[in-house]
Amino acid sequence: MDLKFNNSRKYISITVPSKTQAMSPHIKSIDDIVVLGINLSRFNKLTQFFICVAGVFVFYLIYGYLQELIFSVEGFKSYGWYLTLVQFGFYSIFGLIELQLIQDKRRRIPGKTYMIIAFLTVGTMGLSNTSLGYLNYPTQVIFKCCKLIPVMLGGVFIQGKRYNVADVSAAVCMSLGLIWFTLADSTIAPNFNLTGVILISLALCADAVIGNVQEKAMKLHNASNSEMVLYSYSIGFVYILLGLTSTSGLRPAVTFCSRNPVRTYGYAFLFSLTGYFGISFVLALIKIFGALLAVTVTTGRKAMTIVLSFIFFAKPFTVQYVWSGLLVVLGIFLNVYSKNMDKIRLPSLQGLINKSVDERKSRMLAQTV
């Protein structure tokens, strides 16, 4: 926009760029938010939320089942990093295909930022996949469900955010509830390993940071989900490829998977496809509602994953699962309440006392009359 001043005639001329002119990537435009061909910008906030939540739950529930199924293949547990390499390769291809379907193909986020995001993504997914070679699935979920609090801390230190008591209470309730929910299974069939604990802890730290970094980058540069997926996972693919090549871990993994391509590459394709669809809805949640609400939804999805794990894989049942599930529900309610305090007004303790006193006075007055 150009401003021209003329002292003699006292007027200002304003020139607005046309749609064909390039806008600065640092300016937030009103681009549509499109996920898998669905233009979410046409719906209201509530409908957007439910569409994103449905996408996260459906695709990530299938994703979790396939992840556990892949590591059930005999001899595959030591090739977690190779699975991550294949997964990143598929994600890059999917992201490139989706990027070709949108009109604006410009890269808006700087390359240095993508290098940082790719490093964190590699740490999150690679360490998480590798930890399954040392830990059972419920134990891994115990650690991954505790990332609500680190995400909030990351929001404070990275973006300077401030969270209210309801947000903090929601994070504590959901984390404690999910830990309590899975402790019964881990105590019945404990499979703790120090190496696995270290790996999943590092993955948790990276996961706590990446949501805030993605949210800040996407909102500052107004980047699309497909752009974020394409560049972060393609750069991450190079990171993992260099790492496996330098450690001589690539050839044994390729040899093992080539012996049984259907149960390895076939599962990996479906695993990557559902994961890609899921991450697209997660990125939409981050862009529209922020990292905290996105992590709250994904944490609730993990609770559902555990429930389905009991359905597909026989496990003992105790009442402890019910109480911990109710604690998770309380955390979800607190988080929803914190986001809609203006619409949802819970009565205060003083208000309840005053209401009780007024009702008592009304009864006494009625009896007197």
Mean pLDDT of 176-199: 71
Mean pLDDT of 345-360: 57
Q: Which of 7-21, 226-240, 259-273, 289-303 has the lowest mean pLDDT?
A: 7-21
Domain contains 27: no
- The residue with greater pLDDT, 185 or 335, is 335
Q: To the nearest whole percent, how much of the chain has pLDDT over 90?
A: 14
Provide the token pair at 189. 């069939």
Domain contains 5: no
Q: pLDDT-derived band of residue 363, with 50, 70 and 90 as boundaries? A: low
Domain contains 104: yes
At residue 25, the pLDDT reads 34
At residue 118, the pLDDT reads 92
Tell me if 318 sits within 8 A of 188, measured CB to CB: no
Domain contains 14: no
Q: Which of 3-7, 98-102, 360-364 has the lowest mean pLDDT?
A: 3-7
Mean pLDDT of 35-44: 79
Provide the token pair at 369. 């009359």
Domain contains 189: yes
* Residue numbers of the domain that contains 67: 37-341
Tell me if 36 sits within 8 A of 47, measured CB to CB: no
- The residue with greater pLDDT, 110 or 36, is 110
What domain count does the chain have? 1
Beta carbons within 8 Å of 255's beta carbon, 6+ residues apart: none
At residue 30, the pLDDT reads 41
Domain contains 355: no
Domain contains 179: yes
Mean pLDDT of 26-34: 50
Domain contains 30: no
How much is the pTM?
0.68
At residue 351, the pLDDT reads 57
